Structure 1
Amino acid sequence: MLPFSDEELRHPVEHILDKVRPQLALDGGDVTLIGIASGKVYVRLDGACKGCSSSTTTLKYGIERALKIELHPDIEIVNVPHGMEQQWRSL
């Protein structure tokens, strides 16, 4: 159980995503925050990251790791496939 509400996490999560964006941009990629629910951060990988064979590694060992280190060890990240943005809560 996280000691923060989903709304309280929004700004810190956006700040951390802004910190990792330059690394993604080096390879032509980007990340978009779709939403936060129950300590899970739902994102969509864009650009060259979309469909990249290393996207799982980027999510878990790049973005999620940064969130866990800087915010809380129980935060999880979930990739929202393109076209599923409206259904992200059901993923």
Structure 2
Amino acid sequence: MIPFSDEELLPAVEKSLEKIKPMLALDGGGLTLLGIKKGHVFVQLQGACQGCASSGQTLKYGVERQLRIDIHPELEVINILPGAEYEFEAFGE
């Protein structure tokens, strides 16, 4: 159980993601933080990362790993494809 509210997690998640963005940019990619709900961090991969065969590995072993190291070991990252933002909005309802 994550001992922080989604609102408390937001600044820490944003700071941690800033560490990762330069690495993604080296390959022509990026990510956007859509929000946090119940300890799940919703992002949208951008640029070359969107649709890349390695994007799943990038999320789990890059983004999620960094968030777990920096913040809490139970955080989970979920990629929302462009046009499917309703998945984030409806999560947990």
Shorter-normalised TM range: over 0.9
Q: Aligned residue for 1:39?
A: 39
Equivalent pairs, count: 91
Q: Aligned residue for 1:85?
A: 85
Deviation readout 1:24-75 (Å, 9 max, x if unpaired): 0000000100010000000000000000000000000000000011100000
TM-score by length of 2: 0.93
User: Are 1:28 and 2:61 an aligned pair?
Assistant: no
TM-score by length of 1: 0.95
Q: Aligned residue for 1:12?
A: 12
Deviation readout 1:7-27 (Å, 9 max, x if unpaired): 000011011111100000000
Gap runs ≥5 in structure 1: none
Q: Identity percentage over the alignment? A: 54
CA distance in 1, matches of 2:63, 2:19: 10
Off by >2 Å, runs of 4+ in structure 1: none
CA distance in 2, matches of 1:79, 1:10: 17
Give, as a single letter, the amino acid of the residue that structure 2 aligns with 1:3: P
CA distance in 2, matches of 1:56, 1:65: 12
Give, as a single letter, the amino acid of the residue that structure 1 aligns with 2:62: G
